[in-house]
Amino acid sequence: MTSRATEVRLASRPHGVPTLDDFDVVVVEIPTTPPGQMLVRNLVMSVDPAMRGRMRGVKSYSAPFEVGEVMYGAAVGEVIESTADGYRPGDHVLHQLGWRTHAVVDPAHAVKVDGSAAPLSAYLGVLGMPGLTAYAGLLVSAEFKAGDTVFVSAAAGAVGSLVGQLAKLKGAERVIGSAGSAEKVSYLLDELGFDAAFSYRDGPVHDQLRDVAPDGIDVYFDNIGGDHLEAAIDVINVHGRIAVCGMISQYNATEPTPAPRNLAQIIAKRLTMRGLLVLDHAGLRDQFVAEVAPLVASGELKYSETFVDGIRSAPEAFLGLLSGANTGKMLVRLSG
Give, for all 336 residues of the chain, the pLDDT tens digit: 578 999 999 999 999 999 999 999 999 999 999 999 999 999 999 999 999 999 998 888 888 999 999 999 999 999 999 999 999 999 999 999 999 999 999 999 999 999 998 999 999 999 999 999 999 999 999 999 999 999 999 999 999 999 999 999 999 999 999 999 999 999 999 999 999 999 999 999 999 999 999 999 999 999 999 999 999 999 999 999 999 999 998 888 888 888 799 999 999 999 999 999 999 999 999 999 999 999 999 999 999 999 999 999 999 999 999 999 999 999 999 964
CATH number of the domain to which 266 belongs: 3.40.50.720
Q: Identify the CA nearest to 225 among candidates 161, 190, 186, 178.
A: 178
Taking each continuous run of H as one helix and of E as one strand, the counts in the chain are 9, 15
Q: Is 261 in the same domain as 163?
A: yes
Q: Are 242 and 224 in contact (CB under 8 A)?
A: no
Q: Is 215 in the same domain as 261?
A: yes
Is 295 among the domain residues? no
Q: Is 118 in the same domain as 152?
A: no
Is 284 among the domain residues? no
Q: Is 134 in the same domain as 222?
A: yes
CATH number of the domain to which 37 belongs: 3.90.180.10
Q: Is 60 in the same domain as 171?
A: no
Q: Is 51 in the same domain as 106?
A: yes
Is 46 among the domain residues? yes
Q: Per-residue DSSP letters for 297-315?
A: HHTSS---EEEEESGGGHH
Cα–Cα distance between 315 and 318 in angstroms, integer? 5
Is 285 among the domain residues? no
Q: Is 169 in the same domain as 120?
A: no
Is 290 among the domain residues? no
Q: Is 110 in the same domain as 138?
A: no
> Which value, in Å, is the radius of gyration of the alpha carbons in the chain?
20
Q: Is 28 in the same domain as 106?
A: yes
Number of domains in the chain: 2
- The pLDDT, as a whole number, for residue 209 is 98
Residues of the domain holding 25? 4-124+304-333
- Length of the chain equals 336
> What predicted TM-score, i.e. pTM, was given to this entire model?
0.93
